[in-house]
Amino acid sequence: MASCKYDWPAAGQRDAIGKSTDRIDGPAKVSGRAKYTYDINRPGMLFGKMLTCPHAHAKIKSIDVSPALKHPGVKAALVIQDVGSEIQWAGDEIAAVAAVDEATAEDAVRLIRVEYDVLPHLVREENLSKDGDRAKPAGEQKVGDPDKAFADPEAVISEGFYGIPVITHCCLETHGNVVEWRGADSILTHSSTQNVSGIPSQLGAALRAKKINVQDSNIETICQYIGGGFGSKFSIDRWGVVAAELSKQAGGKPVKLMLDRDEDLEVAGARPSYFGHVKVAASKDGTLTAWSSETWGTGGPGPSGVPPVPYILTNIPNIYKKHTSVSTNIGPARAWRAPNHPQACLMTLAALDDLAAKLAMDAMEFLQKNIHLAPSYLVNTYQQELSKAAELSEWSKYWHPRGDKTPGHLKRGLGVSLHTWGGRGHAGSCNVIVRPDGSVTVQSGTQDLGTGTRTVIAVVAASTFGLPVDAIQVEIGDSRYPFDGASGGSTTVGAASAWTRRGSVDALNELFAAVAPSLGVQANQLEARDGRIQVQGNPSKSLSWKDACAKLGAKTIHTVGKNPGPCNLGSVGVGGVQVADVTVDTETGKVKINRLVAVQDCGLIIDKLTAESQVYGGLIMGVCYSLFEEKVMDQTIGRMLNANMEFYKLAGIGDIGGELIVHMMTGPGYDERGVIGLGEPPVISPGAAISNAVANAIGVRVSQLPLTPRRVLAALAKGGIA
């Protein structure tokens, strides 16, 4: 079968593809030259601040911004939500000002007068029986005959309650923008965003809805660097539109409106909670026969999402599941790295681990025995990954039946989990430019979230042209460049690698056509290798890259690479397995990570170093939500109690503990699938793996994340080991 012209090079001809390449933006970041949105300070810039609602649920009776507008140094003020508006969460935006400095803006905000009718609220959803009419059915399904399966006298049945709370995105750089008008009908935004190409149309539509006439094509968005997004920064958001309005009111001056940390934690997105009662059954040899779950959760005032349980083992023959969505006044949910999957993973893998313990069965063997119930295309991958994870974690050496029976208060345990994700590349495009002086530039309106997108683009282009990676100039982060999709769903590397490859191959073929007469051969007889254009298999008959480009004369090659496009350069659907090794202090309740092992598939790897970094980042983020993170709401006052970095806990270096071991599944059977995204998968399993490891160590399940000392000690008091 003839190969497609854009196909990835064969294993022995990939140059930089698949090797470890340092990030090309690393020096800019570590030296402080990289400029994030928070670092942007435009000439004559004003500072925006917003007044937010102190109540979880209220209606605005009256509002007056005139005292703020009269305050010295204030250049603009506006009402965001007017009289009669019903506010659904504390921290929602009511009014805004722009002033000559932050202190003046903060003083002016305090002068705004608002009266509210305070309404009843609900901010805690853990107890479904108390949620009343806020609880709405969100889905129910029955497969097979679960009642009959559970009634089987030979069945071994395990039942349990499991929960994972609302957490926030807690991006290092808060949400916000610097917005300015360039004349009467043109806008420039510097935005902290995962969606550079999409922001102009969002802002344009929002302003036109307010009778401010500006065309999308006259709006430019720039984001060279972003301090984290994790799914929360796809939109211009209300505060971005407000910044544009304030700027216009102030004569077009730039307005910098970045959320303060408390605002960001309260309103800029959260991951929905998930609680549930689960019952699972198996035959005495460990074969799964039935699943039943009644679950609920909140995504704030909107839908909570429906996590896919049973997770991974979707072909259990008898299934009943029912989910309830609870509407609460806590601020809206947003996509959080692998939406719904960490919740479903914990609910499923914790329940299965408890069943394995009841069967007195090794948890790893239990999963191997039942892995045929996973989607067929992933069964072989999981079998290999479970075996590799067992090897790397020294499972046979350290795993033991539930409850570490060794003397002393330090108890060691192991837990295993597995996960999946999609990751097909999104629609997007790029310019590839090859100039007569030999310089090469790739341009796209994509964004690098800190995951190595720039480096991936450079590696693909360099490998196609036979050049070193540092010979490629990558220009991204500006909506004036060709459109690319938002960076979410692990879709960016699959897209960027594909459109770079297609555009680079087309550009190279144009160069071959220009060079072929000089080498006395047809263009299709040439290849690019080691900085030269040469006759295939004959390095002695060649031109240096620079001399070859000089043959272009005054012409510059300019091609457009697109995704999707010809040839199969990527795929969808990956699997991963993780093992946690922990020590629990039964006197203090503290959980210490000894080792986390991650075995991950992502198809063809472009840059091994960035791929491994994605997994390391997922593990670290997983430790955060497993041991520390929780949006703590007070039902009496309706407010978040820990909206600051002192009490919204994240893991520090000392909390990560021992080894993080990452093994990428590559080579035959994996590389042929092409590139598949890796951003989300590694963050899914840590919660379940660590929870299972703690249960293995202390002999009792801590039913809810995070696994704080208080919860661990409470579980021990209810029936743990001595």
Q: What is the pLDDT of residue 720?
A: 52
CA distances from 306 to 275, 342, 680 (A): 11, 12, 18
Q: What is the pLDDT of residue 117?
A: 98
Longest CA–CA separation in the chain, Å: 85
Count Cα neighbours of 45 within 13 Å in the Cβ-side half-sphere: 19
309 and 190 together in one domain: no
Write out the two tokens for 20.
Answer: 């470890």
399 and 290 together in one domain: yes
Q: Which of 238, 258, 278 is the last residue of a domain?
A: 258
Write out the two tokens for 620.
Answer: 């670290």
Q: What is the pLDDT of residue 657?
A: 80
The dihedrals phi and psi of 610, each to the nearest 5 degrees, come to: -70, -35
Query: Quick check: is 2 in a domain?
Result: no
Query: Quick check: is 390 in a domain?
Result: yes
Write out the two tokens for 32.
Answer: 């402080």
* AA identity, residue 73: G
Q: What is the DSSP string of 598-652?
A: EEEE-BS-S-HHHHHHHHHHHHHHHHHHHHT----B-TTT--BS--STTTS----
Classified as helix, coil or strand, 62 is strand
698 and 643 together in one domain: yes
Write out the two tokens for 419.
Answer: 């996960």
**Of 418, 459, 394, 348, residue with least CA distance to 665:** 418
Q: What is the DSSP string of 487-504?
A: S-TT-HHHHHHHHHHHHH
Q: Are 462 and 504 in contact (CB under 8 A)?
A: no
369 and 506 together in one domain: no
The Cα 18–Cα 210 span in angstroms is 50
What pLDDT, in 10s, does the model give residues 87-142?
999 999 999 999 999 999 999 999 999 999 999 999 999 999 999 999 999 999 99
| Residue numbers of the chain with a pLDDT score lower than 50 | 1-2, 721-722
Interstrand relation of 187-191 and 410-421 (parallel, antiparallel or unpaired): unpaired
Q: What is the DSSP string of 114-173?
A: EEEEE-------S-GGG-GGGEEEEEEEEES-HHHHHH-TT-EEEEEEEEE--EE---SS
Query: Quick check: is 138 in a domain?
Result: no
Q: Is 663 buried (19+), middle (13-18) or exposed (0-12) by CB count in 10 A?
A: middle
- CATH number of domain containing 387: 3.30.365.10
For residue 664, how many other CB atoms are within 10 A of its CB?
18
Write out the two tokens for 92.
Answer: 């929602």
- Find where tokens 């806990």 sit: 649
523 and 655 together in one domain: no
Query: Quick check: is 99 in a domain?
Result: yes
Classified as helix, coil or strand, 28 is helix
Q: Are 547 and 467 in contact (CB under 8 A)?
A: no
414 and 429 together in one domain: no
Count of domains in the chain? 3
Write out the two tokens for 498.
Answer: 């594909």
Query: Quick check: is 386 in a domain?
Result: yes
- Residues 220-237, buried b or exposed e (16+ Cβ, 10 A)? bbbbbbbbbbbbbbbbbb
The Cα 705–Cα 165 span in angstroms is 7
329 and 380 together in one domain: yes
Interstrand relation of 176-181 and 46-52 (parallel, antiparallel or unpaired): unpaired
Write out the two tokens for 450.
Answer: 């800190």
401 and 501 together in one domain: no
592 and 641 together in one domain: yes
Q: What is the pLDDT of residue 722?
A: 35
Element (H or E) spanning 363, and its range?
A: helix 363-370
114 and 195 together in one domain: yes
* AA identity, residue 429: S
CA dihedral 10, 15, 16, 19 (to 10 degrees): 70
Query: Quick check: is 161 in a domain?
Result: no
What pLDDT, in 10s, does the model give residues 674-696?
999 999 999 999 999 999 999 99
Cis peptide before 310 (omega within 30 of 0): yes
75 and 219 together in one domain: yes
**Of 308, 329, 238, 286, residue with least CA distance to 56:** 329
Residue 535 has what DSSP assignment? Answer: E
Q: Which of 196, 223, 258 is the last residue of a domain?
A: 258
Q: What is the pLDDT of residue 1?
A: 32
Element (H or E) spanning 577, and its range?
A: strand 574-585
Classified as helix, coil or strand, 592 is strand
Q: What is the DSSP string of 547-570?
A: HHHHTTTT--EEEEEEES-SS--B
Query: Quick check: is 143 in a domain?
Result: no
Q: Are 322 and 295 in contact (CB under 8 A)?
A: yes
Q: Are 604 and 8 in contact (CB under 8 A)?
A: yes
Which residues, in sequence order, are CB contacts of 570 under 8 Å at separation 6+?
Answer: 424, 425, 494, 497, 498, 603, 673, 674, 675, 676
- Find where tokens 């202390």 sit: 698
**What's the full length of the chain, in residues?**
722
The dihedrals phi and psi of 653, each to the nearest 5 degrees, come to: -55, -40
CA–chain centroid gap for 380, Å, is 26
| Residue-range definition of the domain harbouring residue 714 | 270-423+571-719
Interstrand relation of 46-52 and 255-258 (parallel, antiparallel or unpaired): parallel
* AA identity, residue 553: G
The Cα 166–Cα 69 span in angstroms is 38
Query: Quick check: is 97 in a domain?
Result: yes
Q: Which of 228, 258, 288 is the last residue of a domain?
A: 258
514 and 598 together in one domain: no
- Residues 339-371, buried b or exposed e (16+ Cβ, 10 A)? bbbbbbbbbbbbbbbbbbbebebbbbbbbbbbb
Sheet (strand 156-164) strand order? 135-143, 318-326, 288-297, 274-282, 156-164
- Residues 189-205, buried b or exposed e (16+ Cβ, 10 A)? bbbbbbbbbbbbbbbbe
